[in-house]
Amino acid sequence: MRINVILGCIAVIFLSACAKSRIKEHSEWKKYFEDKGIKNACFELRDNNHESIHFYNRDRCSERMLPASTFKIFISLVALELAVAPDDQLVIKWDSVQRRPEWDKDMNLREALKVSSEPYFKELIRRIGPAKMQHFLDTVKYGNMQMSGKLDEVWTNNSLQVTPDEELGMLKKMYFFELPFAERTQRIVKTMMLQEETPAYNLYYKTGTGKVNDKYIYWIVGFAEKIEHVKEPEGSMNKSDFRNYPFFFAQNFEMPVADTSKDWFKVRLEILHDILKDYGAIPK
């Protein structure tokens, strides 16, 4: 009996050590932000192949804040699931109000997500309605699951909040068709997020920018697929010699509204590439 207890304690200690070894804080990633003058930032990466999680500023990765336009991923899932958008070709007519050249036209869901069209998604969420949106927020347990104020402003009015860690977790589930949506729904949204397609990797992401008091919060969330050639043995069930290895990420930083010293929209993408290359998720 005593021996079993001792062996059990050893097993617990061993498993605990293994669990800790799968979580790593990367203080060296700080340079990618501070070199650009960014002080308040975080980055989380999940290496699914090694079942490991990597952080820069783990505390901020666990802090809830407005999702901004990253929430358009969720709106797209709900719209497709309910057939409010029968597919990614649902066209919503331009209301003739001039806002941005890339928004000022009729467009379908796939095009709207690419350019993050505010008028398109405002109309789409109005068609879904508050009751059904709340149902899916509760079912998925997205962030704090709270909506107040105008329905078509919940992703920017700071009522709905989510952590970078929760964003990453949702995208991982979507990638493996584990969300409470049909597989078709999740597959369509995944393909809509594809932004970079190369022989060595595919990069899927959605950006978001939201204002809170005197600062902007800049998001970028998604996943990279590293493409590697693997020689399959004769008779293998796998018919392709190419394998896609996924890496999930969530990046977030804030800057004063008054700071226009850099193109922060461009900077967030540069930092994403730098860290993914640093880790080896995409080639250097």
- Give the model confidence (pLDDT) of 145-189 as tens digits: 999 999 999 999 999 999 999 999 999 999 999 999 999 999 999
Q: Identify the structural domains of the chain with CATH numbers, from first to last.
A: 25-279 (3.40.710.10)
Residue with structure tokens 């493996």? 176
Q: Report pLDDT for 124.
A: 98
CA angle 184, 190, 193 (to 5 degrees): 145
Query: Quick one: DSSP state of residue 65?
Result: B
Distances (CA, A) of 122 to 4, 51, 102, 153, 179: 61, 37, 16, 8, 23
Residues counted in the chain: 284
Please say if the pLDDT value at position 249 is more than 80: yes
d(CA 26, CA 43): 9
Residue with structure tokens 């704090």? 144
pLDDT tier, 21 (very low <50, low <70, confident <90, very high otherwise): very low
Please say if the pLDDT value at position 1 is more than 50: no
Catalytic residue, from 27, 52, 69, 240: name it.
Answer: 69
Distances (CA, A) of 48 to 23, 244, 262: 12, 11, 33
- Is 69 considered catalytic here? yes
d(CA 246, CA 268): 20
pLDDT tens digits, one per residue of 27-48:
999 999 999 999 999 999 999 9
Count of CB atoms situated within 10 Å of the CB of 37: 12
d(CA 235, CA 189): 34
Strands 91-92, 194-197: parallel, antiparallel or unpaired by DSSP? unpaired
At 232 the three-state DSSP class reads coil
Which distant-in-sequence residues (6+ apart) come within 8 Å of 168 by Cβ?
A: 44, 46, 221, 248, 249, 250
Sheet with strand 52-56: strands edge to edge? 23-25, 52-56, 40-47, 242-256, 215-229, 201-212, 194-197
pLDDT tens digits, one per residue of 56-112:
999 999 999 999 999 999 999 999 999 999 999 999 999 999 999 999 999 999 999
* Largest Cα–Cα separation, the chain: 78
- Of the given ranges (142-151, 200-209, 230-239, 272-281), which has the lowest mean pLDDT? 230-239
Q: How far apart are the first and last CA of the chain?
A: 55
Count of CB atoms situated within 10 Å of the CB of 147: 18
Please say if the pLDDT value at position 2 is more than 60: no
Count of CB atoms situated within 10 Å of the CB of 131: 7
SS3 of the chain: helix, strand, coil, percent, to 5: 40, 25, 35
State the pTM of this model: 0.89
d(CA 283, CA 164): 24
CA dihedral in degrees (117, 118, 124, 125; nearest 10)? 140
